[in-house]
Structure 1
């Protein structure tokens, strides 16, 4: 009995809220834009004995005018000790128009040191 009463109260609350939102008028200028799309980025980052050639991967970015800041996964060609291996990096990204500052993090090396690089990228799309 109590569960039915609780379920009814929650359902009534949800319906009354959705009706209130449906009746509210919004102007076209007040609506916020949400962009969903693909970014094509190519970048180069360098660190201690390390070079990374990075491409854009999935990312979460917040936009303020033409400036975006967020975090991204970057599939990379990781070059260290004269070996080139594919490796996934993740790190912060700051973007202005087509240029990006990237700070890929590759995890740990054999000596348990974190591998960070810093670089620049160009967004094609």
Structure 2
């Protein structure tokens, strides 16, 4: 009989502890911590032009710092199709990014061409996601 009383007392204490743990003060508002850094893939499509080169860029991996809700600055990699010397060539570009709402300003760097000249373009894109 003593064991049953002990088990009943333990069950009551556990129930009271569970009720106490679930209570939340109604007066304290919960604030979500705003992330300043973002890393991920951009759902973006952009066009860029420069140095007699035209590029079509799509979103790739990026790392950005958020200054405000609508303004971010970062760097990213963009799989691209560039028209160089009247040929369409796939290249991976790296670029600084300035993002305001859904508009992205980019400066893709594609490496070197056949004449050992660096390929830079300037462009604008729209972020879908």
The TM-score with structure 2 as length reference comes to: 0.70
Q: Does 1:62 align with 2:100?
A: no
Deviating beyond 6 angstroms after TM superposition, the runs of 4 or more aligned structure 1 residues are none
- What corresponds to 1:115 in structure 2? 119
- What corresponds to 2:42 in structure 1? 39
Aligned pair count? 99
- What corresponds to 2:55 in structure 1? 52
Structure 2 counterparts to residues 14-93 of structure 1, below 5 A: 28-29=30-31, 31-33=33-35, 37-65=40-68, 66-93=70-97
The TM-score with structure 1 as length reference comes to: 0.72
Instruction: Map Cα deviations across residues 9-44 of structure 1 (whole Å, 9 max, x no partner).
Output: xxxxxxxxxxxxxxxxxx843733365654210000
Q: Does 1:98 align with 2:102?
A: yes
> Please, which runs of 5 or more residues in structure 1 have no aligned partner?
1-26
Q: What's the RMSD between the two structures over aligned residues? A: 1.8
> Please, which runs of 5 or more residues in structure 2 have no aligned partner?
1-28
